């Protein structure tokens, strides 16, 4: 018997992994970064074979890591975690530098960065684990606290997308039907079926012009999920 709740008790940080190949830049959010040795400092990261950035890392033999701070913006997470470098230029509107290994490093919302040279690749079927030797790194902000995976879930009310090794599907208990709902019930929350973002009418989505207290039904049809960008029709009542 496996109790799935055990998986939620494992802790992680939240990072941006960056890559460069053939003049193009890629990057994605990962929670699976870990220091694996100390005498030569090495880091591992587990990357989906579906990620555009994974091919870049495999071909170039290099990756960089930005350690995100706890008040990282939803926009940055959405940009790097829910869109593909195949379709968008993720570096267009964010602060970054080019590290000595010629790979970009996201400095926005970051505490520190690490530069790695790939030494080993472990094929995990759906994912590749890269083990890289640390070749450089700098602190950006030694006052801020790193974002934890738990904090990410609490703050953004979102789950991890399919490519994340810790993806758990999007099964949520079904909603009360309208006939079951009592007039005194608070307005219903809605969940994005693509990324798991939860729209809570009590909080609204002020960053995107939706005032606290707005029922989901009253949001304009032009509104899109602030996390992954899909429309209202991809939401379901929870």
- Pick from 44, 70, 84, 101: which binds ligand FMN (CB under 6 A)? 84
- CB 231 to ligand FMN: min, Å: 19
- For position 21 contacting ligand FMN by CB under 6 A, the verdict is no
- For position 146 contacting ligand FMN by CB under 6 A, the verdict is no
d(CA 126, CA 92): 29
- Pick from 48, 60, 72, 214: which binds ligand FMN (CB under 6 A)? 48
d(CA 66, CA 53): 15
- Choose the binding region for ligand FMN from 67-75, 83-91, 186-194, 216-224 (rule: CB under 6 A): 83-91
- Pick from 47, 99, 112, 225: which binds ligand FMN (CB under 6 A)? 47
Contact criterion met (CB below 8 Å) for 12 and 149: yes
Question: Counting every residue, how long is the chain?
Answer: 238
- For position 32 contacting ligand FMN by CB under 6 A, the verdict is yes
Q: Which is nearer to ligand FMN, 79 or 214 (CB)?
A: 79
- For position 105 contacting ligand FMN by CB under 6 A, the verdict is no
Instruction: Report the interface residues with ligand FMN, using CB under 6 A.
Output: 14, 26, 28-32, 46-48, 51-53, 77, 81-85, 152, 160-161, 163-165
């Amino acid at each position: 018997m496996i109790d799935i709740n055990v998986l939620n008790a494992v802790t992680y940080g939240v990072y941006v992994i960056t890559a460069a190949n053939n003049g193009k830049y890629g990057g994605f959010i990962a929670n699976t970064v870990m220091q694996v040795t100390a005498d030569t400092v090495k880091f591992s990261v587990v990357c989906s074979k579906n990620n555009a950035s994974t091919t870049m890392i495999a071909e170039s033999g290099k990756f960089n890591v930005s350690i995100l701070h706890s008040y990282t913006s939803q926009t940055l997470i959405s940009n790097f975690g829910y869109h593909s470098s195949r379709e968008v230029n993720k570096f267009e509107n964010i602060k970054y530098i080019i590290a000595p290994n010629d790979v970009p490093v996201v400095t926005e919302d970051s505490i520190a960065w690490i530069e790695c040279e790939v030494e080993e690749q472990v094929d995990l079927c759906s994912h590749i684990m890269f083990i890289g030797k640390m070749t450089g790194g700098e602190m950006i902000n030694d006052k801020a606290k790193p974002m934890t995976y738990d904090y990410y879930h609490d703050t953004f009310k979102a789950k991890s997308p399919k490519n994340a090794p810790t993806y758990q599907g999007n099964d949520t208990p079904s909603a009360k039907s309208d006939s079951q709902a009592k007039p005194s019930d608070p307005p219903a929350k809605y969940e994005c079926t693509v990324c798991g973002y939860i729209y809570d009418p009590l909080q609204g989505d002020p960053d995107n012009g939706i005032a606290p207290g707005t029922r989901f039904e009253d949001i304009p049809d032009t509104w899109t999920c602030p996390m992954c960008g899909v429309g209202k029709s991809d939401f379901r009542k929870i």
